[in-house]
Amino acid sequence: MYDYNNFDEGFVRNRVSQFRAQVARRISGALTEDEFKPLRLMNGVYLQLHAYMLRVAIPYGSLNPHQMRQLAMIAERWDKGYGHWTTRQNIQYNWPRLADIPDMLEALADVGMHAIQTSGNTIRNVTADHFAGAAADEIEDPRPTAELLRQWSTDHPEFQFLPRKFKLAVTGSKADRAVTKAHDIGIRIVKNDAGEVGYQILVGGGLGRTPVVGQVLKDFLPREDLLPYVEAVVSVYNTLGRRDNKYKARIKITTMENGIDKIHDLVEARFAQLRPQFSGIDQAHFADISANFKAPEFKTASLDGYHAARDADPIFRSWSDTNVDDHRANGYGIVTISMKAHGATPGDADGNQMRMIADLAEQFGHGDIRISHEQNVVLPHVHRADLPAVFATLRAHGLATANAGLISDIIACPGMDYCALATARSIPVAQEIAERFDELKIEHDVGHLQIKISGCINACGHHHLGHIGILGLDRAGVENYQITLGGDAGPDTTIGKRAGPGFAYDQIVPAIERLVLAYLDLREDESETFIDAFRRLGEAPFKAALYPEEDKTHAA
Ligand code: HEM
Ligand code: SF4
């Protein structure tokens, strides 16, 4: 873990006291809401449907138990007792009183956290693989790179007023768990033929109303060129990006309008100017940062108890098969704690759950906790001998749902429950789908299937990248849900295609059910996942299941 040094601490404390004075001026009426808006946005404060909202950064999704307990305390003291994990590894508090927000920020500063640059047209929270430092397939831990980028981008004087928000994600594994191709800049740690570790740089990905898959801008960038190169990309975007139209302001549009070749040439030219300004201090600093992320001392223990528990308890076995991934260290596993109990709000955690997770991490997880972009919580380093105990505690707190990667492990944005921009509900749709498939008891038979739901075209719920995506719209005052098929958030990121006309609220769950039952009929065998079957067969049989009436008309 990276711990704040004196500079970080002083910087964050200063920001809190500055904002405290601004909030006081807003409350006294000295500032209007319009005048206050840019100030609050600098500090992660939104004005939502019912209340203000505070978005707190969790850099590359990493938390220690102490920080997790503080998030719990904040939720209980100043919110309604819970928080909401987001797809960009933040936590959102949906019900704070404006007057309390400076105290909340102070409490965050106490544990080395803040909300700076979690909103506004700046470089947002730098995200990374939630299995970082643990994954068996990792080339290198992406967290030191993400931390270097975080420090470089925080309060970067040139990049506080970009044409639009700007998102970076880093992965160190081929299995891209950071969705790098859906980011403004995606950074993939790679090895070249000479065995040197460097970066592949992708640019121009994004979701929203115009979803685009990022393109490769540089195949192999030496490590020491990272900051000047990324600075060159952002600086070209800052100059070239459109400020006349909010919907055309993202770098994905800049790249489409100018072409990747022109962007490439401009970046190279800017890079040549910037490179000499980087003296190498950043590399010395990178080495210091890396030292903070050294792996914990892994223990050795007998696996007999683990195997015995698997044999004795099918519920434990099912959970450990579904929610525990392979770890690079002998005898260890990576535990995904599903925040998607059937019928629960996807991604919500209350104070008790947060504290329980903090305790588990301390007792069994080398003090490390991650928040995944799928809105789950991960304990990256758990010895398998401890899994029965971890499972028992999770089960006692209702957090042992064995559904990681399955149909009820749904990403859903806040939709009409909170969001001022929503055109439809997302959370209840996710809840009803999860409950329906729990009733049918076919979730494990269906296997890996990602459903992602957004409550408007902004695509916060990543619906474009769902194997089945659901987009809630407003049609003349009535909620209408459009289905997209064939999206994928993996290394070969794919944007799903719209299946056809949308469905009314009470028709959406039956439509998903028809789709999934059709897949069960169509698949070659159990090893063929939904997305594989979709790729083999194309959309026609799936559309026929979705729109049976239409099919009859055609047949007549
Ligand atoms: C309730 C407060 C929220 C507001 C007001 C909000 C607003 C927005 C807006 C306006 C966009 C469109 C960006 C564009 O077109 O460039 C967007 C995109 C996005 N938001 Fe949210 N959002 C909220 C909550 C969330 C939550 C809870 C998540 C995670 C579940 C999230 C993650 C994202 C992501 C991943 C995008 C993708 C678009 C992209 O960057 O390419 N947002 N959001
Ligand atoms: S997708 Fe739309 S409704 Fe959902 S959180 Fe984003 S802006 Fe709000």
Residue pair 183/459 in contact by the 8 Å Cβ criterion: no
Residue 60 Cα, ligand 2 centroid: separation in angstroms? 22
Query: HSE-up of 350 (CA within 13 Å, CB side)?
Result: 8
Q: Are 448 and 407 in contact (CB under 8 A)?
A: no
Q: At what angle do helices 251-258 and 226-240 cross, to 10 degrees?
A: 80
The Cα 392–Cα 238 span in angstroms is 51
CA nearest ligand 2 atom 2, residue = 456
- Which helix (DSSP H) or strand (DSSP E) does residue 53 occupy? strand 52-57
- Complete DSSP assignment for 151-177: HHHTT-GGGSS-SS-B-EEEE-BSS-T
Amino acid identity of 431?
Answer: Q
Assess whether the C-beta atom of 419 lies below 6 angstroms from ligand 2: yes
- Rama region for 175: left / alpha / beta (φ>0; ψ in -120 to 50; rest): beta
Whether the CB of 496 sits within 6 Å of ligand 1:
no
Please tell me if the CB atom of residue 166 comes closer than 6 angstroms to any atom of ligand 1.
no
Nearest residue (CA) to ligand 1, atom 31: 460
Decide if 357 contacts 75 (C-beta within 8 A). Answer: no
| 105 touches ligand 1 (CB under 6 Å) | no
CA of 412 to the centre of ligand 2 (A): 9
> Token digits for 11?
């910087």
Residue 184 tokens read as: 């403004």
| Both structure tokens of 399 | 């957090």
Q: Please identify, by atom number, the ligand 2 atom nearest to the C-alpha of residue 461.
A: 1
pTM above 0.75, yes or no: yes
Listed residue (382, 352, 460, 411) closest to 71, CA to CA: 352
CB distance 206 to 183 below 8 Å: yes
State which ligand 2 atom lies nearest to the alpha carbon of 419.
Answer: 8
Q: What is the rounded CA–CA span in Å between residue 158 and residue 234?
A: 9
**C-alpha 473 to ligand 1 mean position (Å):** 15
> Distances from the Cα of 402 to the Cαs of 307, 390, 398, in angstroms?
18, 13, 11
CA–centroid distance, 493 to ligand 2, in Å, is 21
Q: Which atom of ligand 1 is nearest to the CA of 247?
A: 15
By C-alpha distance, which of 9, 17, 99, 11 is closest to 54? 99
The residues with which 123 forms a beta bridge, in sequence order, are 166
The one-digit pLDDT tens for each residue of the chain (556 residues) are: 888 888 999 999 999 999 999 999 999 999 999 999 999 999 999 988 888 999 999 999 999 999 999 999 999 999 999 999 999 999 999 999 999 999 999 999 999 999 999 999 999 999 999 999 999 999 999 999 999 999 999 999 999 999 999 999 999 999 999 999 999 999 999 999 999 999 999 999 999 999 999 999 999 999 999 999 999 999 999 999 999 999 999 999 999 999 999 999 999 999 999 999 998 999 999 999 999 999 999 999 999 999 999 999 999 999 999 999 999 999 999 999 999 999 999 999 999 999 999 999 999 999 999 999 999 999 999 999 999 999 999 999 999 999 999 999 999 999 999 899 999 999 999 999 999 999 999 999 999 999 999 999 999 999 999 999 999 999 999 999 999 999 999 999 999 999 999 999 999 999 999 999 999 999 999 999 999 999 999 999 999 999 997 655 444 4
Residue 139 CB-density burial (10 A; 0-12 exposed, 13-18 middle, 19+ buried): middle
Residue 408's nearest CA partner among 378, 375, 361 is 375
Strand pairing partners for 90?
57
Rounded CA separation 466/410 (Å):
9
Q: Do the beta carbons of residue 252 and residue 218 sit within 8 Å?
A: no
CB atoms within 10 A of CB 338: 26
Gyration radius (Cα) of the chain, Å: 23
